[in-house]
Structure 1
Amino acid sequence: MALLKEFKEFAMRGNVIDMAVGVVIGAAFGKIISSLVDDIIMPLVGVVTGGINFTDYKFVIQQAVIDGQTQEIIKPEVTMNWGSWVQTVVDFLIVAFCIFIAIKGINQLKRKQEEAPAPAPAPEPTKEEVLLTEIRDLLKEKK
């Protein structure tokens, strides 16, 4: 029971919940960026580079072993898929750039709030206002 209570206190802390929300949003953001890279950026890069699809690029370390009669793969080929790695690096760079821009914007907002001049103090009342206030207070006392 003590362990359960301690876990509940841990899980209900604000920073843990904030972190969980950040992880969920980050995962969703990662999917959006992956789609952006896979479906928009890399096809454009392929057109610019003459139809290259980076995900197809790989180094074959060991060829597949195929049965000569049935053409069935006995042992699949072993490859280093460097094209997929390039695409993942592009994903990372875009995510990192987007996070950089977001943090830069947040920091600018913080600086503007910190640099905002404090409101000017209320001006001192004039002699006439002080006198009128005293008269008002005296009239209230007489009632």
Structure 2
Amino acid sequence: MLKEFKDFIAKGNVMDMAVGIIIGAAFTAIVGSLVSDLINPIISLFMGGVDFSGMYALLGDGEYNSIKEAEEAGAAVFAYGRFIMAIINFIIIAFVVFLLVKAMNKTKKAEEEAPAADPGPSEIDLLKEIAASLKK
């Protein structure tokens, strides 16, 4: 059973998948930082400093100055602002991934369309030339 497991892990597809997952996790951190640290502040600037994540509706009695305060008090909160921010983040992340895939596809297509180097005469052609020169 251990040998079967080693054989399974050693297969190329499993290793490729593992590498893809690890790189995907690192890429998620980079894109998440891009969105939260660079793009969201710009959006907030153009929206007059509005931070959607702080928007909420209280589902019960009481008054709280912030969503954090309401949650700490155990109040039922309808946090629609966080949902709006999640949608915005998803759209931005999807667009960034789209641009990366588009650039990679363009690069791949350019490599495929590049003219192949002239391999020169084949072995058979060389042998024919040698045979012809020997006959002379």
Q: Same fold (TM over 0.5)?
A: yes
1:75 CA drift (Å):
6.0
Secondary structure of the corresponding residue to residue 59 of structure 2 = strand
Q: Where does the alignment leave 5 or more consecutive residues of structure 1 unmatched? A: 66-72, 124-129, 139-143
Match of 1:60 among 58, 61, 67: 58
Match of 2:36 in 1: 38
Deviation by residue 1:45-95 (Cα, 9 ceiling, x = unmatched): 222222211110112223469xxxxxxx99611112222222222222222
- Whichever of the two has the greater Rg, that structure is 1
Deviation by residue 1:15-74 (Cα, 9 ceiling, x = unmatched): 222222222222222222222222222222222222211110112223469xxxxxxx99
Amino acid in structure 2 at the alignment position of 1:89: I
1:102 CA drift (Å):
2.1
Quick one: distance in 1 between partners of 2:28 and 2:39?
Answer: 15
Task: Say which structure is richer in helix.
Answer: 2
Q: Where does the alignment leave 5 or more consecutive residues of structure 2 unmatched? A: 64-70, 122-128
Give TM-score scaled by structure 2 length.
0.67
Match of 1:21 in 2: 19
Aligned residues between the structures: 121
Match of 2:93 among 92, 95, 119: 95
Quick one: distance in 2 between partners of 1:74 and 1:110?
Answer: 52
Deviation by residue 1:2-24 (Cα, 9 ceiling, x = unmatched): 2x222222222222222222222
Pairwise CA RMSD: 3.3
Give TM-score scaled by structure 1 length.
0.65
Quick one: distance in 1 between partners of 2:49 and 2:72?
Answer: 32
